[in-house]
Amino acid sequence: MSDKIYNVLFLCSANSARSIIAEVILNQIGKGRFQAYSAGSMPRGEVHPMTLQVLQGQGYDVSALRSKSWDEFARPDAPQMDFVFTVCDQTAGEVCPVWLGQPLTAHWGVADPVKVEGSEQRRRDAFSLTQNQLLNRLRLFTSLPLAKLDRLAIQHEIDRIGQTPAEG
């Protein structure tokens, strides 16, 4: 079971910043153990330009990124998710589609960097902080011995990670 690749879906309302950042980071640090996706309940239709700048600045490949609806992942032909994480409070409170395969779910809320106003540097810093917060949580997640834990133990751990202070 250790060869299993876990499908993970990150959700936020616009799918233009937080969920996109989480998708990119997990696909990079997941070392082939995870396939990450992202979507939004009300997708913006494009990835926020600052999201792309910050990720590119850290060396991440952003060429295939796009803002998409969570409906894409509720279709019968969609990848079956093992985990679904909400990263914004708005989406956590919404009625989500029914996900195939009964994935484990948790809320890992982080502040929306898109809402930060001010200078370009201040906005860039907000996006960098979001990236660091998600990176910290994803490092904890990828270190879990998933193949050795039962569903209840995994649920406890992913809930605990979501309650971890999102420090940069």
Q: What is the pLDDT of residues 32-91, one digit of tens each?
A: 999 999 999 999 999 999 999 999 999 999 999 999 999 999 999 999 999 999 998 766
6-163 adopts what CATH topology? Rossmann fold (3.40.50)
List the chain domain ranges: 6-163
Model confidence band, residue 94 (pLDDT cutoffs 50, 70, 90): low
The reported pTM is 0.93
Output the CA–CA distances (angstroms, integers) from residue 87 to 11, 93, 126, 162, in the order listed: 6, 11, 15, 9
Extended strands (E) in the chain? 6-12, 34-40, 83-86, 104-107
What is the predicted pLDDT for the residue at 91?
A: 60
